[in-house]
Amino acid sequence: MSFGFLKSGKFLLTAGLLLVLAQGLLELPELQDYFFPKKYLEFNLDLAKLEFWKIEKNLESLKARVSYLQWFLAHRSPEDNISKDWLLRFPFSESLRWLSPKIFWHLNIYALKRTRIGLERKLKYLNALINDIKINTKSKLSHNNADYLTDSSGVNISQIIQNFDQLWASYNQELKTLTPKSILLENLD
């Protein structure tokens, strides 16, 4: 082995490690906010929109599962083999219901609990994300940065944040009304 080969190998290794370090540092949220504040804010707004969409779908699923289990408790007779209405919404569970009611019940209670706990976690995360967006926006606006008032589509960011607050409050209230019903169903086991 030649001495020049080892020297160039060490140089390339050092340069590669420095490149990886720089790339890793740019992934830190604090540095992204410092170097690219507008893009970081828009990324957080898009992330919040996606989370709101997921929460809305999960709330619909939770409502449907609660009403499905309440319907099951009211219709335990053997002549109710398969419900056509619920077969479209929960095909696997509804086809399993008349074959093995205990497995059906445990499966649906597990899905109910998992959805409810997931929604609680997502709402906490979303609340923290919205508060972070508010804090970053207020600090940027205090420096009279007029470019920071609108996103790339021209919508006022403070209006978006206000809409997020209202959506979060309505989803949180909806979850609070569904939680006692789901806990009651979970305790019937």
- Cα–Cα distance for residue pair 53/101, rounded to 1 Å: 33
Phi, psi of 188 (to 5 degrees): -75, -10
Residue 144: count of CB within 10 angstroms of its CB = 7
Residue 171 and residue 123 in contact, taking contact as beta carbons nearer than 8 Å: yes
Q: What is the pLDDT of residue 145?
A: 57
pLDDT score, position 54:
95
pTM listed for this prediction: 0.72
Element containing residue 105 per DSSP (H, E): helix 101-142
Give Rg (Cα) of the chain.
26
Q: For the domain with range 36-187, which CATH number is right: 2.60.40, 1.10.3470, 3.40.50, 1.20.1050?
A: 1.20.1050
- pLDDT in the model for residue 180: 92
**Which pLDDT value is given to residue 18?**
87
Q: What is the DSSP string of 111-149?
A: HHHHHHHHHHHHHHHHHHHHHHHHHHHHHHHHTT-GGGG
Low-confidence ranges of the chain (pLDDT < 70): 1-6, 33, 76-99, 139-154, 189
Give the per-residue pLDDT at 152.
Answer: 60
Rounded CA-CA distance 117/113 in Å is: 6
What pLDDT, on a 0 to 100 scale, did the predictor assign at position 157?
81
